[in-house]
Structure 1
Amino acid sequence: MTGLLTTAKALFQAAVDRADPAKALRAQLASSPLPPLPEGGRNVLLALGKAAIPMMREALVLIPDAKQALAITNSENYTEIPGATVICGAHPVPDETSAAAGMAAIELARSLGPNDRLIALISGGGSALMVAPAPGLTLADKAAMNKLLLASGLEINEMNLIRQQLSETKGGGLLRHAAPAQVQAFILSDVIGDDLRAIASGPTVAPIGTRSQARKIMQRAGLWDRAPEAVRTYLSATEENQDASPPATNTLIGSNRHSLKAMMTAAAEGWNTKLVSHRLVGDVAEAAETVFQAAGSAPLDKPVALIFGGETTVQIRGTGLGGRNQELALRVAKLGAERLSGDWLFLSGGTDGRDGPTDAAGGIATPATWDAIKAAGLDPDALLANNDSYAALKAADALLITGGTGTNVADVQVFLRRPD
């Protein structure tokens, strides 16, 4: 089993390495240099997201004439950068630090003149790290809505559509504050399908939808009556013109698909390697079944490496601690104990190094995991029902711990199996 674990971790690291934000930004600016500014114009840098630190460091090297630089990231990735101001927001649930970050970004954008250029370096996590409630809303309203959304089971695009409608920065809000300055954004995607409107909730892109669409989604998901009154009031107001977002140049420089290709390359020698899905999304229980259907049908004439990528969702029914990758691994451990023989291992991890509000990037499942939880004196079924995947996997020494990676291109999974 040690060999499978080493291989799985190497493939996960290949995914993280391919998403290196500094390398991606360097390659992009080498192939497409920034055009010159009008006389007297200034370059101003704003980095937002879990990859903000490496992107900002690289940008300061590549754009040495930048007059101001602000980086907003999560506390796990915080470090000082000479020549830049670095502040932390909270993730996954925003707090006062996120609001302070939002105000700092708005003030920076508003300071720009018509000859200036805002260079935005955007990566996943920005939705929570930088917040600015829409008029009439408080930070408490935003935080309450974010908690509802994270527990709702909605697809990420639906969650982001709602978030955008409640924000002064999301859905092109940053563009409106920066106008009439130029805006050039370089984006590292953590969204499956790479919809630029959804990455960090699209601060430099036109919004995904409208207030009325947000209302309908919330009503369908049973969230409307549970939302704060101020949110319902705001979303019930007359629609404003949302087609007037100022123009911007948005360039995608990295994504989950690039990382999946890197995993395929890294696993090529000695493995029957297959990219099963780059859209492992939706409910985590259904995703676990998808993984097992692929594992059960794979030919075993030689070792098999099945690769997946995506971002699942968890219906929160309990009070436990965990994340979508940990719960997926725990569910696979349960299915494996019931259905699968032989030598196998499953790893699911967030490329940012953090899964939910925990210190783990994800989880690992083997034929021994489910029984190891029982051997520790715990009931794995009860822990699963309580969404307590962290405690379950910790008891089995099955957590994937990497620390912050400085990047974020959603989640990757690998299922390894040797012939019986």
Structure 2
Amino acid sequence: MSWTDDTARAALKRLFDTAIRAADPRAILAGHLPEPPEGGRIVVVGAGKSAAVMAAAVEDAWPQEDMSGLVITRYGHAVPTRRIEVVEASHPVPDAAGEAAAARVLAAVQGLTEKDLVLALISGGGSALMALPAPGLTLADKQSVNRALLASGATIQEMNCLRRHLSAIKGGRLATAAHPARVVTLAISDVPGDEPTVIASGPTVPDPSSFAEARALVAHYGIALPPAVAAHLDAAAEETPKPGDPRLARAEYRMIATPQLALEAAAAEARRLGLTPLLLGDALEGEASILGTALAGIARSVRAHGQPVAGPAVLLSGGETTVTIRAGQKPGRGGRNTECLLGLALAASTAPELAENIWALMGDTDGIDGSEANAGALLAPDSLARARQLGLDPRAMLASHDSQSLFDRLGDCIVTGPTLTNVNDFRAILIA
């Protein structure tokens, strides 16, 4: 195939769509359901950006079963359900709707018996959506900590370690509240490594981390805590349930979609398009713009030396980068994917032979990169030149975390709307 601007853009969008379809709960969830209980109740609970569509998929798979329950999803992510209630709440900073719904979720699983089944539907975003402060803390306390975490540069693993120790429902507490009922969790992973304790802060799995680790993270990132939160961490009055806790003996965890599965689906589609795919990993982390620079270096090697793969090729990766906002800095309109993409563009521009033959798409598989209505953006060989023709300064916009504004002005933002799934970020770099 001759790679023109039109064919390259179309190919990248097709790969992104393929990755999202591979994680669609409507297509994959039914095959992971347990057998319904005999003579017991089915209580469905959950939280995350995919929670509502997961609940609808459960109802479709079990039309004959008597069930009830409540799931929490992000505003704009609800879908019609018949028996399982859907509540919308705020993400990434929690709100009162999420707090009230989380209290109802916790209440729904209490008082059950060994014959009953709790089906927990967990996906990315669940930590903020199901925000129930630990005793002595308020929603305002959790909101303050969440905002500080989002600007700190902490990884998602580190953020959720702290969140678990400020919650009345995360870090295994939802599952212990359901004891002695059987608990089966169906999860869609949005985190590097697919670690269950990190996905939505692990409400149904034991938590090996400690209050001491949470305090160390606060100190490392210099996070200013509300007085009540600092006192709660210092007191360490009630640790999260640990591995081996007998109340979690009947808790089972099933991963139904992961970033790796989505990347493998995209790789298969790339081969059909005549591209050689190279999977760089599903767990790439670090500062977004720095990762963009590193990816440009790999792309340059492909173009110049045919290593580690010969072109035409596509580099595929997933994971979750971070964007660190300096103290006192007022960021522009950006997200981690557009920031990584702009970092890639600037690094590639130093090698003309690469810049003229590279296209890339980076986006969040949930359809929202950052806080606005774009999933990410697409880069073409002439993107920086077109930006400068519009009077934009790409390097200054990267420094001020205003990458989305640049791609928006170019008309190259990717807008999907809520995809109702979430297997983290998707990056595809096409080298012709």
CA drift at 1:338: 2.8
| 3-state SS of 2:109 partner | helix
Q: Which runs of 5+ in 2 are unaligned?
A: none
User: 2 CA distance for matches of 1:273 and 1:109?
Assistant: 45
User: 2 CA distance for matches of 1:345 and 1:173?
Assistant: 46
Percent sequence identity over aligned pairs: 37
| 3-state SS of 1:307 partner | strand
- Who is 2:317 aligned against? 308
- Who is 1:171 aligned against? 171
> Is 1:236 the equivalent of 2:234?
yes
1:23-102 to structure 2, matched below 5 A, reads: 23-29=27-33, 33-34=34-35, 36-37=37-38, 39=39, 41-64=40-63, 65-102=65-102
CA drift at 1:198: 0.6
1:239-254 to structure 2, matched below 5 A, reads: 239-241=237-239, 242-243=241-242, 244=245, 246-247=248-249, 248-254=251-257
User: 2 CA distance for matches of 1:277 and 1:18?
Assistant: 17
**Residue number among 366, 383, 391 corresponding to 1:377 in the alignment:** 391
CA drift at 1:83: 2.0
- Who is 2:186 aligned against? 186
Amino acid at match of 1:234: H
| 3-state SS of 2:355 partner | coil
Distance 1:26 1:353, change over 3 A: same
1:64-213 to structure 2, matched below 5 A, reads: 64=63, 65-213=65-213
Contact 1:161–1:208 (Cα < 8 Å) also in 2? no
User: 2 CA distance for matches of 1:110 and 1:246?
Assistant: 14
Contact 2:387–2:410 (Cα < 8 Å) also in 1? yes
Q: Can you list the C-alpha shifts for 1:218-258, whole angstroms capped at 9, x where unaligned?
A: 111111xx111111100000453543453311111110000
Contact 1:372–1:395 (Cα < 8 Å) also in 2? no
- Who is 2:368 aligned against? 354
Indicate the RMSD between aligned Cα atoms, in angstroms. Answer: 1.7
User: 1 CA distance for matches of 2:396 and 2:356?
Assistant: 26
Aligned residue pairs total 411
Distance 1:310 1:236, change over 3 A: same
- Who is 1:326 aligned against? 338
User: 2 CA distance for matches of 1:341 and 1:58?
Assistant: 44
| 3-state SS of 1:22 partner | helix
Judge which range, 242-251 or 118-127, deviates more: 242-251
Amino acid at match of 1:231: V
| 3-state SS of 2:349 partner | helix
User: 1 CA distance for matches of 2:73 and 2:9?
Assistant: 31
Amino acid at match of 2:276: N
Q: Can you list the C-alpha shifts for 1:267-297, whole angstroms capped at 9, x where unaligned?
A: 0131122112322211112211221121011
**Residue number among 280, 284, 292 corresponding to 1:280 in the alignment:** 284
Contact 1:99–1:131 (Cα < 8 Å) also in 2? yes
User: 2 CA distance for matches of 1:56 and 1:153?
Assistant: 33
Q: Can you list the C-alpha shifts for 1:150-181, whole angstroms capped at 9, x where unaligned?
A: 11111211111000000011101111222222
Distance 1:134 1:191, change over 3 A: same
| 3-state SS of 1:378 partner | coil
User: 2 CA distance for matches of 1:348 and 1:66?
Assistant: 42
1:281-296 to structure 2, matched below 5 A, reads: 281-296=285-300
Amino acid at match of 2:300: G
**TM value normalised by structure 1:** 0.94
Contact 1:145–1:227 (Cα < 8 Å) also in 2? yes
User: 1 CA distance for matches of 2:27 and 2:119?
Assistant: 17
Contact 2:71–2:105 (Cα < 8 Å) also in 1? no
User: 1 CA distance for matches of 2:339 and 2:24?
Assistant: 26
CA drift at 1:36: 3.3
User: 1 CA distance for matches of 2:282 and 2:184?
Assistant: 28
CA drift at 1:96: 1.3
Contact 1:91–1:128 (Cα < 8 Å) also in 2? yes
- Who is 2:266 aligned against? 263
Amino acid at match of 2:222: G
Distance 1:391 1:271, change over 3 A: same
Q: Which runs of 5+ in 1 are unaligned?
A: none
